[in-house]
Amino acid sequence: DSGVTQTPKHLITATGQRVTLRCSPRSGDLSVYWYQQSLDQGLQFLIQYYNGEERAKGNILERFSAQQFPDLHSELNLSSLELGDSALYFCASSVGQGLNSPLHFGNGTRLTVT
């Protein structure tokens, strides 16, 4: 058990809808990262938050947004969903601001857009 908690495990929704994925980092970790894993794109970095503030952005679409709350949990919001958004979405956490410590992943949320 990595200590990173993601909910829900599975999500099935229709095109055009909006969903929210939730992540609780490991105790003591201040950074939260979101990754998308699809068959054709592999593991893609979306966005990082550190202690409530956005720190880095990767290949995140404008239809997607995220935030980190004072209790350090994070939410990833996906809107106007398209078939191509179907993927495994991972949250990960680490202690510091930069990746100079191990990154621990949650079990992921499998999103299916129909």
Partner 1 sequence: GIQVEQSPPDLILQEGANSTLRCNFSDSVNNLQWFHQNPWGQLINLFYIPSGTKQNGRLSATTVATERYSLLYISSSQTTDSGVYFCAETSGSRLTFGEGTQLTVNP
The footprint of partner 1 (CB under 8 A) covers: 2, 33, 42-43, 45, 48, 55-56, 58, 88, 90, 92, 97-105, 107-108, 110
Kindly state the tokens that stand for 45: 């970095």
Q: CA-CA distance, 111 to 2, in Å (whole number)?
A: 21
Q: CA-CA distance, 62 to 27, in Å (whole number)?
A: 30
> Which value, in Å, is the radius of gyration of the alpha carbons in the chain?
13
Decide whether 56 or 79 has the Cβ nearer to partner 1: 56
Taking the complex as a whole, how short is the minimal distance between the CB of residue 94 and partner 1, in angstroms? Answer: 10
Selection from 2, 79, 90 nearest residue 46 by Cα: 90
Taking the complex as a whole, how short is the minimal distance between the CB of residue 31 and partner 1, in angstroms? Answer: 8
Decide whether 9 or 63 has the Cβ nearer to partner 1: 9
DSSP state letter for 81 = -
Q: What is the dihedral of CA 76, 49, 2, 88, to 10 degrees?
A: 30
Decide whether 16 or 102 has the Cβ nearer to partner 1: 102
Decide whether 25 or 108 has the Cβ nearer to partner 1: 108
Taking the complex as a whole, how short is the minimal distance between the CB of residue 47 and partner 1, in angstroms? Answer: 9
Taking the complex as a whole, how short is the minimal distance between the CB of residue 54 and partner 1, in angstroms? Answer: 10
